Structure 1
């Protein structure tokens, strides 16, 4: 008992010394493991195109009588855009109607005579043929008249006109372009090695310098089955909604094809990873002491890295100062979490 009493001060001193050592352990920065959405993306570039684009042109030649639109105007399908001079077409239609009326009367007489036996079948056939020709001539004249009125084939926005009232237009001459702006098409290409990763219905996002920091979402609706033999790339087309008309055909865009998305991926700072040979390790703080764990990493972005295997999500990792620690060592820690 006397020996125990004499050694008690020494034991207390040793315990106090141990506490001081623990309190004086290395100071490290720690951050909790985060859970956030992580995407695998295929990045490429493309161009915006109108969903439909047509140049309004006359099918027949004639003088431009009147324009029924303003440049840049939004129109709906069936709206009258251009009228050509129709005086000749109306006269031709009137002539065709008169010829048809005569052919119908001749056909009726031929039928009557044939029924009475006063005419033969050949005369009836000739009258029938003349009647059909007259009907065709009227339909042709009516079609020519209809083509003097040029209408919008679908809803869209008109561009800049290239003809004026009084111009004599030849068939196929440009008058004005019509563009469908909602939705827009985005055309882009992917390399041969990524062909198996892209499919119909896949989500894409585009960004452009005009709207920094913004992304516009769309969906792939067409894939060219044939690869380009020169560049070994595949042409892809997607639709992008544009109801607010902020996007314009012809713009150059950055395209991100969303290959996969993990809603609750585990993420840590890149600097928390310690490479040791072929291994990738992270240092955890568990009950004030260091614990090492091997991990398998995924995507890297913005100074962060995804951890696919090795963590559960409730750990705290050492983000700075792990070079001076070892497994089992007691450490002092402070929060090193930064706003990103």
Structure 2
């Protein structure tokens, strides 16, 4: 009985494919590899807080009176000492003139009493009474001058004015709201941290904030005050930091996400999380060395955005198998396909 060889039944194209497949198996399976990267890795404490003005005051009159004139526009930036409000000062000026006249009379009476006392025509009691009247007249003059000065309300410091609550011609009572004044550069960031993290916070520590108004952007600040007393209800500690706001993009009252920078490693080794192979209590990675697979035990650090920091086990110049390591073993030859990682 005549039997044909199987190879005689293969077409030239099928034979070529078979030979290529055999060659690929000889070279090992295909795997994807990435280079170990060096980048900045931070240990951060994430919490939430709110922005507040560095200084905030409501401008109010210390005396009652009719509002004669407003010297500002709403939302205006003003300098320290700038005149903001004038109250009607006609009564105060009249009181000042009266006090000045009373002082002039008291001084003349005192001079006359001194002269009579020196001549022996008056006693010491009359001289003391004249001196007391003179001092009382001076105090009354100072009081009248102070009341007149308080009809002119000035800015206690440089800042930005808010919306006014009054109009010219209004009669203002003592302590009535007129307009708020805010210092917007820098801004304060008020936030809280849990009790377990208290030991990690210190004065001068860097923070970064982010907010929905500026997605993907971070603003850098620094802690300048720590409340020594923890909140008994939530067992948290109040922290306050400063954020530069020279461009005026941030506003008091905004809700922010706060990242407290606990530690930074500028040249940390980073690989994809999917490259890590857990085996029992060990964490292994598959390297490609001279075309063959090599297993390496590693110790990991922070995980973030699909990446993981390698604290121990790598030098930084290795090629790590990121996909396909499930079908390889140590010492096996492999074919590699380099994969570019997104920054």
Q: TM-score, normalised by structure 2?
A: 0.92
Counterpart residue number, 2:38? 35
Alignment of 1:101-250 (within 5 A): 101-250=104-253
Q: Which runs of 5+ in 2 are unaligned?
A: 1-21
Q: 1:148 to 1:21 in 2, by over 3 A?
A: closer
How far the C-alpha of 1:23 sits from its partner, in A, is 4.7
Supply the distance in 1 between the matched residues of 2:46 and 2:315 (Cα, whole angstroms). Answer: 30
2:217 counterpart SS class: coil
Q: Which runs of 5+ in 1 are unaligned?
A: 1-18
2:187 counterpart SS class: strand
How far the C-alpha of 1:286 sits from its partner, in A, is 1.2
Alignment of 1:42-81 (within 5 A): 42-81=45-84
Supply the distance in 1 between the matched residues of 2:340 and 2:129 (Cα, whole angstroms). Answer: 98
1:101 counterpart SS class: helix
Counterpart residue number, 2:307? 304
Match of 1:99 among 96, 99, 102: 102
2:241 counterpart SS class: strand
How far the C-alpha of 1:114 sits from its partner, in A, is 2.2
CA contact (8 A) 1:92 1:141 kept: yes
CA contact (8 A) 1:22 1:331 kept: no
2:80 counterpart SS class: coil
How far the C-alpha of 1:20 sits from its partner, in A, is 4.6
1:114 counterpart SS class: helix
1:103 counterpart SS class: helix
Supply the distance in 1 between the matched residues of 2:238 and 2:277 (Cα, whole angstroms). Answer: 41
CA contact (8 A) 1:30 1:337 kept: no
Which stretches of structure 1, 4 residues or longer, exceed 4 Å deviation after superposition?
19-23
CA contact (8 A) 2:287 2:318 kept: yes
- Which segment drifts farther, 144-153 or 285-294? 285-294
RMSD: 1.3
How far the C-alpha of 1:77 sits from its partner, in A, is 0.6
Counterpart residue number, 1:11? none
Q: Tell me the matched-pair count.
A: 322
Counterpart residue number, 2:29? 26
Please list the CA deviations of residues 85-139 of structure 1 after superposition, one character each: whole Å capped at 9, or x if unmatched.
Answer: 0000000000110111111111112222222333222222111111111110000
How far the C-alpha of 1:22 sits from its partner, in A, is 7.5
